[in-house]
Amino acid sequence: MVAEGATSSLYLLAEERRGEFDGWRADRALAEIRRGLERKGSVAVHGYHAADGDVEALADAIETPSLFGARTFLIVRGVESLDERGQERLTPALERQAPQVTLAIVARGADMRRRFFVRCRELATRVPVDHHGRPRCVDLPTHSRVSGAVRWPRTRASFCSNASDAT
pLDDT tens for residues 37-73?
999 888 889 998 887 878 898 898 888 877 776 789 9
Q: How many residues does the chain have?
A: 167
CB-CB contact of 74 with 101 (8 Å): yes
Q: How far apart, in whole angstroms, are the C-alpha atoms of residue 5 and residue 146?
A: 51
Residue 10, beta-bridge partner list: 103
HSE (CB half, 13 Å, CA atoms) of 9? 15
CB-CB contact of 11 with 28 (8 Å): no
pTM over 0.85: no
101-137 confidence digits (pLDDT tens): 999 998 887 777 788 888 888 888 888 787 765 444 4
Average pLDDT, the chain: 75
